[in-house]
Amino acid sequence: MSSWKNNQEIEIFREYLRIPSVHPDVDYAPCVEFLKKQAIDLGLPIEVYHASGPTKPVVVITWVGQRPELPTIVLNSHMDVVPVYPEKWTHPAFSADIDDEGRIFARGSQDMKCVGMQYLAAIRALRKNGVTLKRTIHVIFVPDEEIGGTKGMRVFVKSNEFKKLNVGFSLDEGVASVNETFLVYYAERSIWQVKFIISGTAGHGSLLHKNTAGQKLHYILNKLMEFRKHEEDRLENDSSLTIGDVTTINFTIVKGGVQGNVVPPTMEAVFDMRLALNVDHDAYEKQLRQWCTEAGGGIEIVFEHQQPKVEATKIDDSNPFWLAFKQATTELGLKIQTLVFPGGTDSRYIRHIGIPAIGFSPMNHTPVLLHDNDEFLQADVYLKGIEYYKKIIPAVTNV
């Protein structure tokens, strides 16, 4: 019989997966009730904070260490999950069905209800074994990460409640790996979503007007696509680079015009940009504005997102938490690869206030299905992850 059959930790995980904490308009109350039940089972205190109002709870389960005055460890996860297209799923997305191969199908099985429950499972095992830890641990469950964390972690890190936690280091999510290697993330690119509002000469579609919005858009688009091609070439020609090491640019929205034979007075274009760690933000913004001038002017730039430059977490001898994490993975025999995260996680808010953070989801030999249809996690992979955390959590906590 497989190790996952009738396993208590698998059943707890599946119960959490069945809570449809799905966008838009997530109701977090069932998650909070579920986590209160977990805290009682663990014999640990729980606090629920509302830095962004009553509908955006932040849940903190705390295990006090022997040296509570020392900076603490955060084990972070988010309660929310992205929407689903029910017709594209072979198992209902919030059923947590488990098939004969032990695949648990549910939205959030990889991103990232698994990690939140693996933290608690590891702590349950450690406490049962009478383990005591030097530093205090705060297991944090936040809302709204999937829509940018603006009413979740971004607000919480600025609150007095967070300051009182005295955080010294944070673990958060990573991404599954298709091979034996585990992916470990120490930094993130800065997300910029840039809207160009382009004004130009309007008139009849039969004439050749000067300085139309379309001509100006063409100029901006060419410049951005040339830059994109340059980054594409860098990625293709240098095998040491991954997607997180280059700047990505994608043309995502275009609006304008009322009729096929009328040249419109304005057009809008939105580009999603993820700025690599080596990009000088001021110089990059100056370049965008310069292109607007070269295109003929009359172009307003609106930043729908303009994340600041956030320093990478040190992965060298200067960071004792990193050394402890690395030592634990070595002792476990895990092969790890350190990367810049291609998307955005709540770690960016933690790093922005100067706290080192590492992204790690202990899932290897697993297809990457976050935000995809039929998202699943193998039960045996989930249980192995608990074993890894039983080693990693004490390692970083006893620094």
User: Would you say 156 and 142 are in contact if contact means Cβ atoms under 8 Å apart?
Assistant: yes
**42-77 tens-digit pLDDT:** 999 999 999 999 999 999 999 999 999 999 999 999
**147-201 tens-digit pLDDT:** 999 999 999 999 999 999 999 999 999 999 999 999 999 999 999 999 999 999 9
In this prediction the pTM is 0.93
Would 8-173+361-397 and 195-306 be classified into the same CATH topology? no
CA atoms within 13 A on the CB side of 299: 30
d(CA 24, CA 27): 9
Owner of token pair 């402890």: 324
298, burial (CB in 10 Å: exposed 0-12, middle 13-18, buried 19+): middle
How would residue 343 be classed by pLDDT, with cut points 50, 70 and 90?
confident
**Residues with catalytic annotation?**
80, 145
Q: For residue 292, what are the contacts with CB-CB under 8 A and spacing of at least 6?
A: 196, 220, 299, 301
Token pair for residue 148?
């940018």
> Which sequence spans correspond to the domains of the chain?
8-173+361-397, 195-306
User: Would you say 193 and 305 are in contact if contact means Cβ atoms under 8 Å apart?
Assistant: yes
Mean pLDDT confidence for 373-381: 97
pLDDT at 2: 64
**DSSP sequence for 301-358:** EEEEEEPPP-PPPP-STT-HHHHHHHHHHHHTT--EEEEEESS--THHHHHHTT--EE
State the architecture of 195-306 in CATH terms. Answer: 2-Layer Sandwich (3.30)
Token pair for residue 210?
């000067």
Q: Percentage of the chain surpassing pLDDT 90?
A: 98
pLDDT at 95: 97
Return the CATH number of 8-173+361-397, one of 3.40.50.880, 3.40.630.10, 3.40.50.10320, 3.40.50.1000: 3.40.630.10
